[in-house]
Amino acid sequence: MHRFHGVCNIPYGTKGQLKYDSLVGHSELKMPESGFDLYEDIRQNGLKEHRPRQYAGEFKEEFELDLNFDIYEKIEIPDFKDGRRGRFIHDFNANKTGIIDLDGNRCFVMPLNRYQVLPPRSLFDLIKKMWEGYYEVDTEVVRETMRVITPPLSDMQGVGQYISRECMGMPTYKLQKVSRPIFKRSVTEDLPDNAKFAEFAGRNVVEFDIINFEELLSFEAGQTKRSDVVAPVVEGDSSTKAGQSQDEEVGKNRGE
């Protein structure tokens, strides 16, 4: 085993199990009792037939787990109806989590929460147990209130090689946890959907609510306007003429 890639449906806000048709991608995963080799069937007939159907109260996750070195996992939520589409990168060497905003072409980085995020091999074992029906996990929502720090990072060395690679060419902002919100509770509950990301990485569904997301959008809009401003060159400008006259006078004095 080196790397595992799979797709599953996560129950959102309830306890539930993964069904056999909700997990794909590894030769060790066979339908209980029947011995049907799902991986071999996918290899011969293609992956499309085994994409899980998505039902109400669920969201889809696509994940890639490093089972060789146990230091890296990628979890993508391609369609989260209650928030933004995101790709989570968990780097256990750098102790960082990155979130790629698939809709906004930007990245966020924050410390890795090792309680909520299981390492690759542990997450793989959990997924196998869920898929086989031996384990029921609690996917009730845990909400984390976060704040974006602007401007974006100018040095990516501290975020780890995996996050740096995924976020190349995109502005990357630090996310800071707001442990004691200065806002009323109703403010965070009424956040627009475009300010939320969510994932399941072993313990609960964790929803990240970014309370100053609108401020981030305003900041980026201001940056774009400033980059579009170019000083106009006006033909016959008096300051330009004055500069040319001074240069000519200096040249005469030097005998040029």
For the stretch 171-193, pLDDT in tens is: 999 999 998 554 444 444 556 66
Determine, yes or no, domain membership for 220.
no
What is the number of structural domains in the chain? 1
Strands (E), the chain: 3-11, 15-16, 58-66, 72-77, 86-91, 96-101, 106-111, 137-138, 141-149, 172-177, 196-200, 205-210
Residue 190 lies in a domain: yes
Residue 86 forms part of a structural domain: yes
| Residue 242 located in a structural domain | no
Looking at residue 50, the DSSP 8-state letter turns out to be: G
Residues 112-139 have pLDDT tens digits of 999 999 999 999 888 878 777 666 777 7
Residue 252 lies in a domain: no
Check residue 252 and give its pLDDT. Answer: 52
254 found inside a domain: no
Q: What's the chain's average pLDDT?
A: 75
Residue 71 structure tokens? 């230091």
Residue 45: inside a domain: yes
Using DSSP bridges, classify how beta strands 205-210 and 196-200 pair: parallel, antiparallel or unpaired: antiparallel
In a domain, 155, yes or no: yes
Query: Has residue 40 got a pLDDT over 60?
Result: no
Domain that holds residue 29: 3-212
Q: What is the pTM of this model?
A: 0.73
Question: Of the ranges 61-70, 143-152, 163-172, 189-198, which one carries the lowest mean pLDDT score?
Answer: 189-198
